[in-house]
Amino acid sequence: MIYVLGIETSCDDSCVAVVDDKLQVLSNVVSSQTEFHRRFGGIVPEVASRKHLEYLPWVLDQALRDAHLTLEDINLIAVTQGPGLLGSLLMGVCLGKTIALFGDIPFVGVNHLEGHLFAIRLEHPEIQPPFLALIVSGGHTEIIAVREWGKYDYLGSTRDDAAGEAYDKVAKFLRLGYPGGPIIDRLSEGARGDRFHFSAGLEDDDTLDFSFSGLKTAVVRHYHRLREEEKEDKELIRDLVASFQESVVRVLVNKTFKALEIQGFSQIVVGGGVAANRHLRRRMKEEGEKRGVQVFFPSPSFCTDNGAMIAACGLFHWERGKKDSWEMEPDPRLPLVSIE
């Protein structure tokens, strides 16, 4: 049996997991920094890197305990190399290199976006390419054609704000709290998402690219036009954010299925933190059922950043001969490229 230790620190979550070569998740520990960043309404990179330094030893120890293993049992270290925040990435890479050096264990750097693609294999190992992937999170909104595992084509991406970033900015402006995605998702349940109509940039264009910055601005402008008593109306505000969410989900669904038609695929895999959004999951499933298309989502715990997806992806590349040298460095803009 091969045991892989996966380390994920691309942003503000300190994540360590152990996965075996059958893709069974033996442990998956995540330490969130949300409480520290909430006061700022967003992630402060310097704070994030310092908290990783503080949390990682405990997270590592807990992951090994949960898996009932020690470092001597680990056969491979997989660590997020990028993209992400440089300081945060550096903490994870340093930990991975240290363990690998002292334990004489091979290690591989993993692309964070590819990790999100591999998250689905942890629960649905039967899914095989080709399929269309939508990766949607606070930092990324991408449509990718997965020809084979390890072979990818970018079809569309955001030209400004990612979808999750737009959620955070709208929530911050309305003083709803942080992170904005779960808060707006919760407030939107049972609210009228058709009360206001907002259009996202590029929504009606032929391109598969996204633009959410103008949508965020439209919500802000509409709020400024409200009377003071309306701004105090909680139901109106719930309808406002529900209408914003409806617009985001509409453009994500429409462009994803447009890409599906172009590519001729019959499967869609959705990953990333925003993939945990209940309205997005409902709408994607509904549209898939209408068209006879299978739509797959990881469980919410595997949508958000986690070490298990990094371990699964690292195992794939290691089995095909990849092994990084000590010169491997974190890359905040690491592109997702196909293997030869």
> Model-level pTM greater than 0.85?
yes
- Under the phi-then-psi rule, with left for phi > 0, alpha for psi from -120 to 50, and beta for the rest, what region is 129? beta
Helix axes 180-188, 278-291, angle to 10 degrees: 70
What superfamily does domain 3-119+302-319 belong to in CATH? ATPase, nucleotide binding domain (3.30.420.40)
Among all chains, which residue has been given the structure tokens 């930990």?
Answer: 95
Q: What are phi and psi of 299, to 5 degrees?
A: -60, 150
Evaluate whether 186 touches 139 at the Cβ level (below 8 Å): no
DSSP 211: B
pLDDT at 71: 97
Distance CA 45, CA 90 (A): 12
Residue 314's alpha-carbon distances to 112, 172, 246, in angstroms, are 11, 36, 36
* pLDDT the model gives residue 189: 94
Q: 269: which residues sit within 8 A by CB, 6+ positions away?
A: 117, 120, 127, 131, 132, 133, 134, 146, 295, 296, 297
DSSP state of 245: H
| Residues 124, 132: Cα–Cα separation, whole Å | 15
Give the model's pLDDT for residue 48. Answer: 82
Instruction: Give SS3 for 339.
Output: coil
Give the per-residue pLDDT at 293: 96
Instruction: Please report the pLDDT score of residue 33 as a whole number.
Output: 74
> How confident is the model at residue 43, as a pLDDT?
81
pLDDT of the residue at 45: 78
- Taking only the tens of pLDDT, the chain with its 340 residues reads 999 999 999 998 999 999 999 999 999 999 987 777 777 777 887 888 888 999 999 999 999 999 999 999 999 999 999 999 999 999 999 999 999 999 999 999 999 999 999 999 999 988 999 999 999 998 899 999 999 999 999 999 999 999 999 999 999 999 999 899 999 999 999 999 999 999 888 888 899 999 999 999 999 999 999 999 998 999 999 999 999 999 999 999 999 999 999 999 999 999 999 999 999 999 999 999 999 999 999 999 999 999 999 999 999 999 999 999 989 999 999 999 888 6
Model pLDDT, residue 87: 96
CA angle at 271 for the pair 266 and 272, rounded to the nearest 5° = 160
pLDDT given for residue 54 in this prediction? 92
Element (H, E) at 8: strand 3-8
Question: In the chain, which segments carry CATH 3.30.420.40?
Answer: 3-119+302-319, 129-297
Contact between residue 176 and residue 187 where contact means Cβ atoms under 8 Å apart: yes
pLDDT of residue 150: 95
Cα distance between residue 192 and residue 184, in whole Å: 13
H/E run at residue 112: helix 112-118
Distance CA 297, CA 41 (A): 28
Q: Say which CATH class 129-297 falls into.
A: alpha beta
Q: Minimal CA–CA distance to 106: which of 317, 327, 324?
A: 324
